[in-house]
Amino acid sequence: MTTATLTLTGMSCAACANAVETAICQVPGVTEAQVNFAAEQARVDYDAGSISLDAIQTAVANAGYGAAVAEELGPRIGAHHHPRQQRMLLSRVVVSGVVGILLVVGMLPAMLGIHIPGWPMVLHNAWLQLLLATPVLVWCGQSFFVGAWSAFTHRSANMNTLVALGTGAAYAYSIFVTLFPNVLMAQGLPPDVYYEAAVVIIALLLLGRYLENRARGQTSDAIRQLMGLQPNTARVIRQGNEIDLAIEAVVVGDIVVVRPGEKIPVDGEVVAGTSTVDESMVTGESMPVQKRHGDAVIGATINKTGSFRFRARRVGKDTMLAQIVQLVQAAQGSKAPIQKLADQVTGLFVPVVVAIAISTFLLWFNLTGNITLALLTTVGVLIIACPCALGLATPTSIMVGTGKGAENGILIKDAESLEVAHRLQTVAVDKTGTLTQGKPMVTDYLTVAGGDARGLLQLAAAIENNSEHPLATAVVAHARSQGVSVFPQVQNFEAVVGSGVQGTVNGRRVHLGTEGWMQTLGIDTASLQSQRQVWEAAAKTTVWIAVDGQMAGLLGIADALKPSSARAVQSLQRMGLEVVMLTGDNRQTAAAIAEAVGIGRFIANVRPDEKVAHVQRLQAEGKRVAMVGDGINDAPALAQADVGMAIGTGTDVAIAASDITLISGDLGGIVTAIRLSRATMANIRQNLFFAFVYNVVGIPIAAGILYPLFGWLLNPMIAGAAMAFSSVSVVSNALRLRNFKSQGVW
């Protein structure tokens, strides 16, 4: 299955987005399509073997819209925010606004029913009004009528249809009255024209669209800022010389030089020099991080104090920055489950509104015989009813929320994950690398009586040198610190998941792992039990060493807690969440760690395959569960959980299996992610409430429901203003999420 992102053009409302989504889904070979009206993007899952992107783009074109493949690093973020397009839109707002003011000024005495001395009555002339209004309808309102015609030719309807019908009806009626005023006068009807209504409505709608576009542009500020972080050039050593190259010319393996105050161009590993690096724009961490030989550096972060050289490891689309941008874009283009209701409503909205408008005209004309009243109410219904606010309610909040998450070092895979996170009840956390630093160190080493300590350490390090487990790294590092730098060749190496490692070294069979595994192998561990109890009581992990089926030694390994772990657990508990620790470590060590961070419920001696079962048991209790982990062994549990959260400093497999990635590795990110989810969902509910109430209340008033009771009739111009600013209000409310602050875990 292949996933592609398309940049869309020609959409004017949520009904357009539904039409595009339907057109894409009808293409054979497409399994799923999600169209984001706010981002003007479509995310398409399709079978590349049976269908091409060209065919999908053709389907979109046949529906009356445009589609282009988004750029690899950063698709066009809101094509509607292009400065040239904005200037053109602004010029049309100005022209229509000036003409609208002139027409209203000309009609004011008639509207008020009074004579105003010195008033420019020439503006009241119907022919002059026709002359002034026509350019507005033809040029300023062109997009509405072209869009309506395009929808009509494709047997659909959208916001443009409503606007074109409403303003077109007012304009056409006014032309008829201008040409044949006697026809109305013969029937006892005043020959009133409504050029000013058509013009002012278009002016207000264009102003609303202009303000909306500006506001929508701000919803993508976070991702645009991310894309702007990468420097344009890099200083690279080629053939012994330092040369400046375009960032695109840097290749994996290049040695890159970074001086104080400069941005790091690509991802890599320090090979010479030391410095501190500000990684806040990527990880959300405010404190600079010390970097020395062997440490990883992230592209786009800022070098602070010293100069250093590093070897490029990831360039182009493979850098962390590029991956962050891609993940944020995917999240912003996805749909939250809460949006389904809005989609169902908008799918039927326009046809229903047209039907209501026709019924309104017929009802009032039959009841009163007053064509003016019938026309005003009909135009009011057509103009005030717009599904834009409803269509923008969810995606704008999602765009701002996911962007804000990225600013705080939290990558949210899709909108569904963001929505589910606010309903979490239980957070299950791994121990090693999650609650702890993930950099264990050997603190104690003991052999059985009469054992060769150095020789045994060499055997153990030789075996562990073939493993990528954090405990294995600790054993190898300890051996080297003790002067053991040469490791014999290992044969028949095997890693037993959740138990340990084994292999043959110099003809001797060596096992390193858990006590339970040793007992399974029939190896007697009694000789080292007393020391094991002492070490585990001190929250140390014990690694047992057996040679040729006999117990040979014991390693004590400690992994320090992350400074934020205890505070994060307390913050989660204050938020009403239960925190459960799942660890493969022994019960005694697990109990010591749990007590240190304030976790009341923990499960020890858990194999990787058992973590999934434990998550399922928590879910069977009726709880929505988040799983937080960092290793390959956590990936199945991350996938099983309602929301999987991966520590960004962990493995790529864990990150791929997760729904939310905490780039910095700080557990405070869990607290921030859940708080952000709650804030975003509250914002979405507010937007949907505004949008629904606006249409539920506005349409009946525009139809004249209050006229028989109070004589109140909604002027079409007021309806136009209400419709225009309904979308602006929804987007503006979504932008309040930009004020979200990570309060940390203090």
Tell me the catalytic residues. 430
Residues found in the chain: 746
Contacts of 20 (CB under 8 A, 6+ apart): 8, 11, 35, 42, 60, 63, 65, 67
User: Which residue's entry shows tokens 């199945």?
Assistant: 636
CA pair distance 342, 419, nearest whole angstrom: 15
> Which tokens is 447 given?
């052999």
Phi then psi for 319, rounded to 5 degrees?
A: -70, 160
For 285, left (φ over 0), alpha (ψ -120 to 50), or beta? beta
Q: Are 31 and 46 in contact (CB under 8 A)?
A: yes
Rg (CA), the chain: 34
Bridge partners of 674, per DSSP, are: none
Q: Are 698 and 719 in contact (CB under 8 A)?
A: yes
CA pair distance 350, 386, nearest whole angstrom: 8
Torsion sign, CA atoms 285, 288, 294, 297:
positive
Q: Are 447 and 453 in contact (CB under 8 A)?
A: yes
User: Which residue's entry shows tokens 């995310």?
Assistant: 43
CA pair distance 729, 733, nearest whole angstrom: 6
Instruction: Show the beta-strand stretches assigned E in 413-496.
Output: 426-430, 441-447, 490-496
CA pair distance 480, 490, nearest whole angstrom: 17
CA pair distance 200, 196, nearest whole angstrom: 6
Contacts of 452 (CB under 8 A, 6+ apart): none
Of 28, 12, 22, 39, nearest to 394 by C-alpha is: 39
Buried b (16+ CB within 10 A) or exposed e, 622-648: ebbbbbbbbbbbbbbbbbbbbbbbbbb
Q: Are 41 and 55 in contact (CB under 8 A)?
A: no
Q: Are 687 and 734 in contact (CB under 8 A)?
A: yes
CA pair distance 292, 283, nearest whole angstrom: 19
> Which tokens is 462 given?
């030789």
Phi then psi for 190, rounded to 5 degrees?
A: -70, 140
Give the DSSP H or E segment for 503: strand 500-505
Neighbours of 676 (CB within 10 A): 25
Helix-then-strand count for the chain, H and E: 27, 26
CA pair distance 428, 615, nearest whole angstrom: 8
DSSP 436: B
Phi then psi for 493, rounded to 5 degrees?
A: -70, 140
> Which tokens is 574 given?
């204050």
